[in-house]
Amino acid sequence: MAGKDGYISVEGDIGVGKTTFIQYICRANGWKEVPEPVDGNPYLESFYADPKAFAYVMQDWMQSIRGGTMFHASRSRGMHVMDRSMIGDWAFAYANWKCGNMTDAEWESYQVKHRRYIRQTPPPCTVICIDADVPTLLARIKRRGRVCEQGITAEYLTLLKEGLQLSIAMYTKIHNIPVHIVKNNIDGNPSCPGSLSASFDEEDSNFEEICGRIRAMHMERVNA
């Protein structure tokens, strides 16, 4: 039997502030955090070292792992908040295909599996998309100092943003779920259906206002 509350997916680019947001919103509401499977990813370091050799196998692994995580979150009691879902995974695969790290054949194979996964896996009840401009993202990536991320380019981040917009549009068309946009120190926001626009800053945030608005919208949907 599925859990009453379901789960929320938080999407966004590298360095956008998802982890900070998820930790806050879970602490404020007593919800359960579902971190991204980075530590257990056997391909991540190899991908950053040689993306053309490892992009496809890593993205294929990610979507298979993510499917299980999404299914578990949908069946568990209490609200869970996931750091990315298959929505974000598709955006990463798209970016790697567009910049030449995946061949056309690999991209087609990935999409065949992805289309099957997104129809068979319980969707989130709400999607929160956090957005920031590329110069801000690059500055944050540099500041947090993860060695494997220092080669990330503006082009790659731009493709991720483009892929995320396409993926959200595709996913919400299939599942008809609300998307809330949270702008983290940026000008403008992506074009997503049913969006909520708010702003926060990591050092001096108005997280409480954002949290309350998202909580109210989510409970309205759960109780509908």
In a domain, 185, yes or no: yes
CATH number at residue 193: 3.40.50.300
Beta bridge partners of residue 180, listed in sequence order: 128
Q: Which pLDDT band holds residue 207 (cuts at 50, 70, 90)?
A: low
Burial of 72 (0-12, 13-18, 19+ CB in 10 A): middle
Least confident of 37-41, 78-82, 141-145: 37-41
Tokens describing residue 122: 């319980």
In a domain, 115, yes or no: yes
Q: Which residue has the higher pLDDT, 199 or 90?
A: 90
SS (H, E, C) 153-182: CHHHHHHHHHHHHHHHHHHHHHHCCCEEEE
What is the tens place of the pLDDT at every residue in 118-158? Answer: 889 999 988 999 988 899 899 888 888 787 788 889 999 99
Q: Residue 115 pLDDT more than 50?
A: yes
In a domain, 71, yes or no: yes
Q: Residue 196 pLDDT more than 90?
A: no
pLDDT score recorded for residue 17 = 85
The pLDDT mean for the chain works out to 83
In a domain, 217, yes or no: yes
| 165 close to 46: Cβ distance less than 8 angstroms | no
Indicate the helix (H) or strand (E) that contains 57. helix 51-75
Domain boundaries, position 143: 7-222
In a domain, 1, yes or no: no
Q: Residue 62 pLDDT more than 60?
A: yes
Q: Residue 199 pLDDT more than 80?
A: no
Specify the number of domains making up the chain: 1
